[in-house]
Amino acid sequence: MVSSVLRDARRIVVKVGSSLVTNEGRGLDEAAIGEWSRQLAALVRGEGGAPREVVMVSSGAIAEGMKRLGWTARPQEIHELQAAAAVGQMGLAQMYETKLREQGMGSAQVLLTHADLADRERYLNARSTLLTLLRLGVVPVINENDTVVNDEIKFGDNDTLGALVANLVEADALVILTDQKGLYTADPRKDPAAQFVHEAQAGDPALEAMAGGAGSSIGKGGMITKILAAKRAAGSGASTVIAWGREENVLLRLVHGEALGTLLVAQTAKKQARKQWMADHLQMRGAVVVDAGAAAKLRDEGKSLLPIGMTAVEGDFSRGEVIAVRDPSGREIARGLANYASAEARLLCRKPSSEFEKLLGYVAESEMVHRDNLVLTTG
């Protein structure tokens, strides 16, 4: 199974933990980051296969800050944790930028909070930025914005962030690189009878019983956070692999079909999960009415909905909300995520994309609803 899941993945989120990035807190591991950067570059270029889009979610800012500040124990005070994150983030971003540039790759630092992904407008802005970076062949390096947000430091972890990013960019797979080979039925450091789990279903409650607590004094997570992250990623159809980050060529071997680590399989395909979510929406704040030509393009040709084909806007909705698409007779033919709020959509009816900036002062997207965010509800 792992051979097809990773081999067929075209968009991959890779998450690496603090203990790996900082060599158990001794400072940024230049050689390891260089190795992952080499593999990321090879994936983007499609060496030995099809080109991939990759996003790196990297821990390590607080641990690197602690090292730079000469602290041997993780502080308890929030302001000290934030200070450590601020100091460490400089070195972390610089290291990835240097190592990716050595491989001929562009990189970008993206700092996110859970609030960015909870607010729909900020969620869409973050999504648009990341998808643009991927389209440009740039590798985004993401970390939590620990320098300004309290609850991310107290309760957050980058395993969860990795899963949220996988949902955000609709990744095919999430790869969590850790300091363990994968999941065991019990803690192998305490139970010699523990057996390795090669493959399981993401979200299986039995997996949570197998996972232990936090794994080290440097990182905040543990196997349980990885199991829960896999469950969250599966919600949007992404399968997860938990593997040892120091395995030679681990990323390249995974995408070439080698069975490394623990594979937690999503039971719903990516597109099916997203479209089922839209189809199941019970309450919609509004709708757009389209002409017969636009209705035919949506229904028969699988096209996106362009504002030039819209004749009317109903209700009051925000950007990113699920709206109905109705044909000239008023029958619902589709549902999808609106790229523009209702007030803006009314201005764009019957207008070509060349006029958007003049009407709105900006251009978010050329489509009202992109075909990837649209599901037909009638034949």
Question: Which residue is it, tokens 């790869």?
Answer: 175
Distances in Å between the Cα of 345 and the Cα atoms of 129, 184, 312, 316, 337 are 22, 52, 9, 10, 13
What residues form DSSP beta bridges with 175? 14, 241
Confirm whether residue 303 is marked as ligand binding. Answer: no
CB atoms within 10 A of CB 357: 10
Q: How far apart are CA 68 and CA 77, in angstroms?
A: 18
Q: How far apart are CA 82 and CA 31, in angstroms?
A: 27
Confirm whether residue 311 is marked as ligand binding. Answer: no
Q: Contact 300/345 with Cβ under 8 angstroms?
A: no
CB atoms within 10 A of CB 79: 9
Question: Which residue is it, tokens 């990885």?
Answer: 226
Confirm whether residue 3 is marked as ligand binding. Answer: no
What residues form DSSP beta bridges with 277? none
Confirm whether residue 351 is marked as ligand binding. Answer: no
The residue type at 95:
M
What residues form DSSP beta bridges with 139? 107
Question: What length does the chain have?
Answer: 379
Distances in Å between the Cα of 24 and the Cα atoms of 35, 181, 291 are 17, 16, 61
Confirm whether residue 178 is marked as ligand binding. Answer: yes
Q: Are strands 262-265 and 239-244 parallel, antiparallel or unpaired?
A: antiparallel
At 75 the three-state DSSP class reads: coil
Q: What is the dihedral of CA 67, 71, 75, 81, to 10 degrees?
A: -40
- Of 234, 265, 222, give the one whose Cα is nearest residue 3: 265
Confirm whether residue 179 is marked as ligand binding. Answer: yes
What tokens were used for 127? 């999504």
Question: What are the binding residues for ATP?
Answer: 15, 178-179
Question: What are the binding residues?
Answer: 15, 59, 146, 158, 178-179
Question: What are the binding residues for substrate?
Answer: 59, 146, 158
